[in-house]
Amino acid sequence: MAETHEYKRPVPKMRGFAAEFYAYCKQHELRFQRCADCRTWRHVPRDMCAKCGSFAWEWAQSSGKGTLFSWTTAMQPMLPQFADLVPYSPVVVELEEGVRMLSWLTDVEDADLQLDLPLEVVFDDVTPEVTLPKFRRAG
């Protein structure tokens, strides 16, 4: 699964909230911000709760379960490092907690994509430093 030392695609810049988010991924934990006051989950990370205005929050652990909310199929690579994948389909997954995230599916062909497909997170250790959360069909 991991393409250790051979991974040629761009990886996230590890700074700020992203560094914290991916540090949990490296431990194979999917965590999102949750407001400490009104308990609303949020993603992408930001300082303030959009619902109640609180600046108090925690990294709360997600169940890792969700459904396919949307996708697009790229017929042209955005970057040369993705040329060997074309066509490929980045997806938006809606987690049980209500947040949505952009990700990849590991085991679903483009022809089998369908809205609300049940999914669960898997962790792909693409380099010794970086683990990407991806999704597969939920058992």
Interface contacts to Zn ion, rule CB under 5 A: 35, 37-38, 40, 49, 51-52, 54
Specify the residue, 37 or 84, whose C-beta has the smaller distance to Zn ion: 37
Q: How far is the CB of 43 from Zn ion (least distance, A)?
A: 14
Contacts of 69 (CB under 8 A, 6+ apart): 91, 92, 93, 94, 100, 115
Specify the residue, 46 or 51, whose C-beta has the smaller distance to Zn ion: 51
Q: How far is the CB of 100 from Zn ion (least distance, A)?
A: 18
d(Cα 34, Cα 19) in Å, to the nearest integer?
Answer: 17
Q: How far is the CB of 49 from Zn ion (least distance, A)?
A: 3
Specify the residue, 31 or 137, whose C-beta has the smaller distance to Zn ion: 31
Cα angle 93, 116, 111; round to 5:
90
